Amino acid sequence: MKHFIQILLMSFVVSFNVNGQTYTGPIPKPTSGYGADGTYTVATQSFANPNFAGHDIVIYYPTGITSPVPTIFYSHAYGGNNPNNISGFLNFVAKKGYAVVFVPYQTTGVTIPDRYSNLLNGFTKAAHDYPNIIDTTRVGFVGHSFGGGASFANAYHCFTTLNWGQSGRFIFAMAQWYSYNISQTELQSFPTDVKLLTIVYEDDVTNDQRMANDIFNTINIPTSEKDYLRVKSDTINGYIYTADHVVPNNSHFDALDYYAYYRLFDAMCDYTFNGSLAGKDVALGGGSTNQITMPSGMHNLVHSETPTFANAQNTYQFPCSSYDNPRQDHCDEVLATTEISTTAKFAMFPNPANTILYIDTNKEISKIDIFNAQGQLVKTANTKNISISELSSGLYFVKLTLKNGNEWTNKLIKE
């Protein structure tokens, strides 16, 4: 009977109001587990925005709390300064027992650093003025598009200067734009206890995915504490689930929001704030079944440890190599999480290679992973002589992990 009801639900396009947004599509939202709505009722607290008159900062939080709760600092996309655009997510956070701070920032007539300051000043004012709601020892920074790019600099400041997140901290970046106000040195000295989930959308033609690839590959966060996922589009019963730039801030509030966003976010909070290993398996599962599986009929999420890029830069409205990108020189680099010390001797040859790949290093090897051009793991070895004859011709990435934890990644051409 339960199976019949599920089939029946899948046969129709549903449409109902969820927290101010209209949920649509044939796949219903989850009713249990990560991504299911929480049980708390939602309260809000608004106050004047010191940098954007007439656009109040809003805190969403669980009604009736008697002590501060873990808090999410949300950075919206360019032009998305109305919280009603993402009211589904803001209410979802509070219903799960957390607080979320939404700071509108001005989009015209100001500089990019002005917008970053607008966000940061709003976050710090909320934390200062509402300590009965906001627990700055357990925090997450979530951002989409412009806000996704901005999250790294503002999070770095709050983590290193203000000492936020000592009991748990993460960044959740979606379809990110250019990242300003953070240097290569700062990225490579990022606090290693931060968790990171980066999400890109297969049919996004706005922001070049090289920007997300660059930050993800460069930032000094251990591989075990960061993951990179790509969301694919689907058509089910005539309803189009479009994985493009406007997910999740669009009028099509549907299964992509709940399964490719809320579910992962929910699990990330549980792992970061509660130490749940089940939460880690979903949010940072390294391509685990629980992480990538989408509802029946939808493509699974695509996981990558060393993300590369699928489309030419002229595909995108904002290419990585644009002069507007302060990190344009890093667009085509594949960088390791941690560089091997200059005293370590290593080499990879021949390159191109056909049957055997040799790794020469004076350090003890933990493992060697080989990824294809889509970032999928295709081979793992722990010896310096690796047979690659079974691999198809093309571009690969070889990641060497040493016993001391250092890593090195380089391109390989398989003949």
CATH number of the domain where residue 395 is located: 2.60.40.1220
Asked if residue 388 is part of any domain, the answer here is: yes
Please give the sequence-ordered ranges of beta strands (E in DSSP) within 280-332, or none if there are none.
302-304
Residues 207 and 310 in one domain: yes
Asked if residue 403 is part of any domain, the answer here is: yes
* CA–CA–CA angle 285, 287, 292 (5° rounding): 95
CATH number at 65 reads: 3.40.50.1820
Residues 284 and 389 in one domain: no
Q: How would you write the pLDDT of the chain (415 residues) with one tens digit per residue?
A: 334 333 333 334 455 566 667 888 999 999 999 999 999 999 999 999 999 999 999 999 999 999 999 999 999 999 999 999 899 999 999 999 999 999 999 999 999 999 999 999 999 999 999 999 999 999 999 999 999 999 999 999 999 999 999 999 999 999 999 999 999 999 999 999 999 999 999 999 999 999 999 999 999 999 999 999 999 999 999 999 999 998 886 567 899 999 999 999 999 999 999 999 999 999 999 999 999 999 999 999 999 988 877 688 889 999 999 999 999 988 875 443 333 344 444 677 777 888 888 887 777 888 898 888 777 889 999 888 899 989 998 888 888 887 776 677 777 888 8
Give the separation between CA 283 and CA 39, rounded to whole angstroms. 21
Residues 205 and 353 in one domain: no
Asked if residue 340 is part of any domain, the answer here is: no
Q: What is the per-residue pLDDT for 361?
A: 74
Residues 323 and 358 in one domain: no
Residues 257 and 354 in one domain: no
Q: What is the 3-state composition of the chain as percent helix, strand, coil, each rounded to the nearest 5?
A: 25, 30, 45
Nearest Cα to Cα of residue 192 among 214, 161, 160, 162: 160
Residues 52 and 147 in one domain: yes
Residues 24 and 105 in one domain: yes
Asked if residue 308 is part of any domain, the answer here is: yes
Residues 230 and 370 in one domain: no
Residues 143 and 61 in one domain: yes
Helix (H) or strand (E) holding 72: strand 69-75
Domain boundary among 330, 364, 388: 330
Question: 290-319 burial by CB neighbour count: b if 16+ within 10 A, else e?
Answer: bbbebbeebeebbbbbbbbbeeeeeebebb
Domain boundary among 267, 297, 330: 330
Domain boundary among 330, 361, 378: 330
Give the separation between CA 54 and CA 68, rounded to whole angstroms. 27
CB 45 within 8 A of CB 58: yes
Residues 157 and 34 in one domain: yes
Asked if residue 161 is part of any domain, the answer here is: yes
Q: Count of domains in the chain?
A: 2
Residues 357 and 248 in one domain: no
Residues 266 and 187 in one domain: yes
Asked if residue 372 is part of any domain, the answer here is: yes
Asked if residue 4 is part of any domain, the answer here is: no
Range of the domain at 378: 346-414
Q: Which pLDDT tens digit goes with each residue over 300-335?
A: 999 998 887 768 888 999 999 999 999 998 887 544
Q: Cis (ω within 30 of 0) for the bond into 248?
A: yes
Asked if residue 336 is part of any domain, the answer here is: no
